[in-house]
């Protein structure tokens, strides 16, 4: 299979590229060239916000791809760019959206894909939803327009080697998280960390994306992409403490107070539970890595990176 990843040097996109190579795919990545792309990939250099450069990079590649996965699409303009520039160069486009498109106010604790109340305040969620709408409009009229089959995946919290840890304010993607836990510092969590989470391991998300290709039940559809375990957010941090051999402790930030200070964070301050029945019925590859197994791999990777950094600094 010939696979194009829009992105390729970041956390999620890099994981997609490496998993594609592991599956034996011919993998091309399109990046700005600011970070090293995974070894073994073909690299196209362009800033997607430079329309001419993006179009020229795709054209100069002189090839087509079976599957394109857009990991760096953030608004409707990016979605339209995918359709216009890649429309005749791929069979299938998978767009990585986010559960942040969903309204976090007074929503049910468990949400299926039929839920249709969307974010109206935070720009990130609003813009991602606008991209979804553009792609779904294409899918609804594809028979008359042509172009690629489109599938939208909505991951929740994504974790795994290559990223920072932390799933809830104020310790979301906290670069000092491991040191805080090892040092016995209480973690300050909104709502005491009692919001339910369903984190997804990045390699599992990649396999789910790959499984969309050729799947008739994925045509023009939107699927949640969540892991197999539903836990309180504080359990996520407790598992990290277990891996480190220490007990994580917590302090509570009142939800109402926090949201008065950070109103754009509403989509994080709610239960984020997503049944995977629709994806299961469609025959997609379902995320299966347990949270404990995935977090152990993630923590070990960070500790290894810290050890290597310390080693280099000692030997300068």
Residue 137, domain CATH? 3.40.50.720
16 located within any domain: no
Q: Under DSSP, is residue 125 helix (H, G, I), strand (E, B) or coil? A: helix
Within a domain: 29 = no
Residue 61 in any domain: the answer is no
Give the chain's domain count: 1
CB distance 210 to 23 below 8 Å:
yes
Residues 212-233: pLDDT tens digits? 999 999 999 999 999 999 999 9
Q: How far apart are the C-alpha atoms of 146 and 128, rounded to whole Å? A: 23
Average pLDDT, the chain: 95
Structural domain includes residue 4? no
Residue at 98 is within a domain: yes
* Residue 312, pLDDT above cutoff 50: no
183's tokens: 């040092």
Mean pLDDT of 29-50: 96
Model pTM? 0.96
Q: Which residue has the tokens 């959206």?
A: 97
Q: How far is CA 294 from CA 16, 70, 104, 172, in A?
A: 16, 24, 26, 17
- Residue 114 domain boundaries: 73-314
- 113, 223 Cβ separation under 8 angstroms: yes
Confirm whether 27 is domain-assigned: no
Q: Tokens standing for 243?
A: 């891996």
Q: What six digits make up the tokens of 134?
A: 């553009």
33 assigned to some structural domain: no
Query: Which tokens is 94 given?
Result: 């998978």
Instruction: Let me know if residue 299 belongs to a domain.
Output: yes
**C-alpha closest to that of 90 among 207, 5, 203:** 5
């Amino acid at each position: 299979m010939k696979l194009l990843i829009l992105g390729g040097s970041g956390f999620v996109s890099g994981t997609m590229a490496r998993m594609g190579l592991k599956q034996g795919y011919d993998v091309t990545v399109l990046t700005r060239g600011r970070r090293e792309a995974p070894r073994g990939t073909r690299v196209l250099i362009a800033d997607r916000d430079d329309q001419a450069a993006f179009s020229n990079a795709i054209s100069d590649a002189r090839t087509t791809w079976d599957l394109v996965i857009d990991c760096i699409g953030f608004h409707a303009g990016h979605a339209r760019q995918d359709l216009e520039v890649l429309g005749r160069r791929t069979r299938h486009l998978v767009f990585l959206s986010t559960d942040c498109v969903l309204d976090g106010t007074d929503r049910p604790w468990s949400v299926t894909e039929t839920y249709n109340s969307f974010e109206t305040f935070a720009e990130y969620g609003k813009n991602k939803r606008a991209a979804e709408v553009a792609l779904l409009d294409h899918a609804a009229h594809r028979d008359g327009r042509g172009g690629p089959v489109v599938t939208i995946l909505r991951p929740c919290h994504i974790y795994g080697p290559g990223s920072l840890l932390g799933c809830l304010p104020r310790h979301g993607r906290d670069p000092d998280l491991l040191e805080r836990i090892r040092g016995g510092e209480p973690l300050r969590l909104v709502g005491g960390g009692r919001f339910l989470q369903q984190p997804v391991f990045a390699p599992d998300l990649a396999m789910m994306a790959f499984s969309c290709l050729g799947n008739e039940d994925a045509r023009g559809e939107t699927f949640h992409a969540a892991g197999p375990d539903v836990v309180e957010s504080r359990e996520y941090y407790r598992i990290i403490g277990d891996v480190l051999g220490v007990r994580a402790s917590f302090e509570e930030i009142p939800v109402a107070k926090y949201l008065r200070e950070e109103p754009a964070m509403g989509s994080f301050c709610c239960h984020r539970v997503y049944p995977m029945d629709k994806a299961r019925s469609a025959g997609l590859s379902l995320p299966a890595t347990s949270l404990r197994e995935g977090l152990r791999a993630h923590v070990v990777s960070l500790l290894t990176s810290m050890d290597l950094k310390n080693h280099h600094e000692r030997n300068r």
